[in-house]
Amino acid sequence: GESVGLHLPTLSVQEGDNSIINCAYSNSASDYFIWYKQESGKGPQFIIDIRSNMDKRQGQRVTVLLNKTVKHLSLQIAATQPGDSAVYFCAEKRGFQKLVFGTGTRLLVSP
């Protein structure tokens, strides 16, 4: 069956640390992966994406790594700030089919 899951439901880090949020997927046919950030009381906000023909993609303070061999996706946030506290979702897509979301990881950043 299909599944997009996360290893850790809650991740607590200190301000300034680097954060790594992990995600596993089961369908090797997925060709597009997205990370969304959802702050309390708001809708999911696009952070970064990666296609299956890439292993790594960098944005501003964020990096997404894709390991197709083990069907693993990770989001790295450098120098984590209190404003990064939110729930992070990975999502996968297969061509024109629906976007499938993982269960989410709550990131808590303490000063």
Partner 1 sequence: DTAVSQTPKYLVTQMGNDKSIKCEQNLGHDTMYWYKQDSKKFLKIMFSYNNKELIINETVPNRFSPKSPDKAHLNLHINSLELGDSAVYFCASSQDPGEDTQYFGPGTRLTVL
CA-to-CA dists, residue 107 to 3, 29, 32, 50, 75, angstroms: 21, 29, 23, 21, 12
Closer residue to partner 1 in complex, CB, 14/26: 26
Instruction: Give bridge partners of residue 36 from the DSSP assignment.
Output: 46, 89
CB of 77 to partner 1, least distance (A): 19
End-to-end CA distance of the chain: 41
Closer residue to partner 1 in complex, CB, 57/101: 101
Percent helix, percent strand, percent coil in the chain, to nearest 5: 5, 55, 45
Single-letter amino acid, residue 76? Q
Contact set with partner 1 (CB under 8 A): 32, 34, 36, 38, 41-46, 49, 87, 89, 93, 95-96, 98-99, 101, 103-104
Closer residue to partner 1 in complex, CB, 26/45: 45
CB of 38 to partner 1, least distance (A): 8
Closer residue to partner 1 in complex, CB, 41/83: 41
Are the C-beta atoms of 25 and 4 separated by less than 8 Å? Answer: yes
